[in-house]
Each structure stands twice: as structure tokens, then as C-alpha cells.
Amino acid sequence: MVARYIVFGHLTIDDTVLPDGRTAMGTVGGNVLYAAIGVHIWTGDLAIVARPGQGYPVSLIEELAACGYRIDGLIPCESRRIRQWQLYDDEGGRHYVPLASSGSYAELTPRVEDIPPGVTAGAIGCHIAPLPVEFQAPLVHWAKSKGLRITVDPHHESVNGTARLWQSILPAIDVFCPSREEAICLLGGWNGPEAAARALAEWGTAVVCLKLGADGVFVYRAADQASWFVPTLVDRPVDITGCGDAFCGGFLVGWCEKNDLQMAAWYGTVSASFVAEDFGGRHAFQIDRGEAMRRLTTLTALEVRT
């Protein structure tokens, strides 16, 4: 199986607590998993590159393989798997607390030297999910050397104080995909999505895709100053964990397959809508692609009306 798309990031086991008291313990998650789901909704031609860590359930990796995900990019390492609490507050904030037995983000971050050569044959695009920025930069330059289309999502815990570093990295990135909160950290304020996207594009990236949570996404192309707003498809999410990552995976496929940024945002929005339907990622390992196309049709019709 050729992997046309490669996703880099973390696999985690999550214990989620919502502000209304609902909990979900021991769910399978991680930004690389949700991004891979976002890709897989549209195509099976993808590979996951990650370090699961010691103690990560083998049964979950086997289940991924059985569902058609390519797993030869999962790299053994000596560090313990990441397990963490995800604590949401009633204002939309989220805080992560690693268990005492958990490995760290840095220890479980895939490196360029980890990438199995066979994984990259035939690849056309990659998504680098949130990782400590000092590890994202080498992956960006590796992907650039391979001629891949590159989307990158910054890491919420390592974005503060890194504006200058991102200014040096962004010229090598095709699409930069920060959240509203991450854009605020990088820019030092918020004057709306268009102003933020323009400011980030001035740092050198060709396209900025701002993830605005329940408000949808805003896409801006620097070359001609074109922009698109795409609303969310999710009215009553069960759990929003991973929606941004799934969006990025779907966006990558839509962009590479259709060469159309608005279509890419539609693909990403559809991918995110499936992830929001339940806790964790397992429920979305396999998705009816006919239903994905129906949701895409619904979204494009909504865009025409608006």
C-alpha cells in the first residue's frame, strides 16, 4: 500500500473530564491519530509516524491495522506511553495533566531519523501535528527536501515566546494551521481572523488556516489575498478533542487531491464532524465514505446559500 499522505505526531491514552461532569477514561487519542482519521475518512493511502511508547496497548495498534491504517511508521522506543487527563472548563478552556507514569511529549516525539524509508515512497503531502517546535522544524525541512506539500499545526504548550523561531520556519511551510488561541500567543493579541491571518502570512507561509472552534475556520492565501470562511458542521458535539487535528488531516487530502483551498477546508470540516460525535478516536477508525460525501454536499450547499 502506497502512503500518499504522512502524518507525524503523538499517540496518547486520554482520561477526559467535561465541565458537566461527564467523563471518558482510557480513550485512545493523540493528535497523530485524529489527523490520520481525518485523512482516512477520504483515503486509505496514509502512514502514521509516531512513537507509541512502552505500555501503549498493542490491541489498539492491531485494530488500526485491521481498519486499513498503515502502521509501519510506528517506532519502538524505551519511554513510557503518554497517558494524560484532559480537563475542560465551562469557558472552552482545556488543561492537560500527565499521569505520573506517563512519558513526556519530547520523549515520544518522532524524529527525522525515525522515519522508515519505505513509508515515504510515493508520498505527496504530510501533516506535522502539534509537537514541541524544536522537533517540528527538522521535520519541516525534511519534508521540504522531499518535495512534499506541508501543513503544520503548532503545539499549544510550546507556542509562547516562539514567534521568532516560527518566523524562521514558516517560509518552508505551505499551510500554517494554528488555533485562535495559538495565533493570539504568537501575535500578542487578536484583531479578528483576517488581521491575524495576514500578520502570520507576512512571516512567510503561503497559506494560513485559522481554526476558530465552534466559529469554523478562516483560510487566507497570501499570493492574491483571497480568503474563505467555512462554518462548522457540528451543532452538539459529544467531545471536541481531536477535531482540529482531524480537520488538518482532511484539509491536506482536499488540498492535494483538488488543488482548491476552499474544497480543502470543506474536506477538513467534514472530517472534524465525525470525530466530534463521541469520545476518543476509536468510533471514527472506519467511516462510511458515502456519508462523508453527503456531508460534503450539505456543507457546499450551505456555502452557496450564504
226: CB partners within 8 A, 6+ apart: 220, 261
Query: One digit per residue, pLDDT tens: the chain, 306 residues?
Result: 678 999 999 999 999 999 999 999 999 999 999 999 999 999 999 999 999 999 999 999 999 999 999 999 999 999 999 999 999 988 778 889 999 999 999 999 999 999 988 888 889 999 999 999 999 999 999 999 999 999 999 998 778 888 999 999 999 999 999 999 999 999 999 999 999 999 999 999 999 999 999 999 999 999 999 999 999 998 889 999 999 999 999 999 999 999 999 999 999 999 999 999 999 999 999 999 999 999 999 998 876 543
Integer CA distances (angstroms), 24 to 13, 16, 86, 238, 241, in order: 11, 5, 10, 11, 11
Q: At what angle do helices 243-258 and 261-275 cross, to 10 degrees?
A: 150
Distance CA 250, CA 20 (A): 30
Q: What residue type is 299 in one-letter code?
A: L
pTM comes to 0.95
Q: Is 176 exposed, middle or buried (0-12, 13-18, 19+ CB in 10 A)?
A: buried
